[in-house]
Amino acid sequence: MNTTLLLNVEEQIVIVELANIRLKGELVIPANAEGLVLFAHGSASSRYSTRNHYLAHVLRQEAKLATLLIDLLTKEEEAIDQRTKHFRRDISFLSNRLLAVTDWLLANPCTRHLKLGYFGADTGASAALLAAATRPMAVQAVVSRSGQTDLVSEALACVQAPTLLIVGGNDLPIIAMNEDALANIPAFNKQLEMISGATHQFGEPGTLEEVARLASRWFKHYLKASDSDARDLQSMLLN
């Protein structure tokens, strides 16, 4: 696996080469960062997702965490997916791409010292949970927004990382599958948060901001704080 970094003042444009494909992403590492959140995009979303750019900004500003937004599909694969919706539902494929990027982060001198977390949305959340189950020693925390957790139901029993499941209060099918997921995830620290008035995309006023608040607290504790502080997180989330 070859990698190239093109450095700007604040942003590193990451190119990860796997066999005959190239994945491009945006890596930002704030000063004194202790953790990094890798975003797993879902459905037809890409690293240009305005929602994930907003969430990444909050994680950098509020929790002082590094962020990596990267396309898990090549441009050619994206074009196919737009027509067939093939890749967005192939969770094993997306998870393997996510694991390849994870391997790069663990090997890269700029990022290998950072505790790693995944943020996944929709089918990207499924890929993140599957990847976390595959690499329990590498992934320190997972946050899922509107996760299609039924797509990885068999893998949930192997998820050891502290996991926060965020769903919209009006997204009834997703609520049901995430309730099942919470029961099946064996991680000691796990939480399901329902945001009142929110639908699947969290486009209602204030709802995405609440996602950012919850995710920021979760990652800040599990990627930066001591273990004793992390144990108190569930009670803090309710305040």
DSSP 82-141: HHH--GGG-HHHHHHHHHHHHHHHHH-TTTTTSEEEEEEETHHHHHHHHHHHH-TTTEEE
The pLDDT confidence band at residue 77, using thresholds 50, 70 and 90, is: confident
Lowest mean pLDDT among 98-107, 197-206, 220-229: 220-229
- Residue 229, pLDDT > 70, answer no
Three-class SS of residue 18? strand
Report residue 45's pLDDT band, with 50, 70 and 90 as the boundaries: low
Tens of pLDDT, residue by residue over 183-210, are 999 999 999 999 999 999 999 999 999 9
Angstrom distance (rounded) from CA 118 to CA 57? 15
Instruction: Write the single-letter amino acid at 66.
Output: A
HSE, side-chain direction, 13 A CA sphere, residue 114: 31
Domain ranges of the chain: 34-227
pLDDT at 226: 54
Residue 188: exposure state from Cβ atoms within 10 A (0-12, 13-18, ≥19): exposed
- Average pLDDT, whole number, for the chain? 88
pLDDT of res. 2: 47
SS3 65: coil
H-only helix segments in the chain = 50-62, 75-84, 91-107, 123-134, 172-184, 207-223, 227-230, 233-237
Confidence check: pLDDT of 5 > 70: no
pLDDT at residue 91, rounded to an integer: 94
Residue with structure tokens 């975003």?
39
35: Cβ–Cβ under 8 A, 6 or more apart, which residues? 63, 65, 66, 114, 115, 116, 117, 140, 219, 222, 223, 224
Q: How many Å apart are CA 48 and CA 231, to the nearest integer?
A: 34
pLDDT confidence bin for 9, thresholds 50/70/90: very low
Give 7's contacts (C-beta < 8 A, 6+ positions apart).
13
CATH of 34-227, one of 3.90.1170.50, 3.40.50.880, 3.40.50.1820, 3.30.360.10: 3.40.50.1820
For residues 38 and 41, give the distance between their C-alpha atoms in angstroms, rounded to a whole number: 10
Query: What residue type is 137 in one-letter code?
Result: M
Average pLDDT value for residue range 109-115: 94
Closest Cα partner for 64 from 223, 237, 239, 227? 223
CA 7 to chain centre: 23
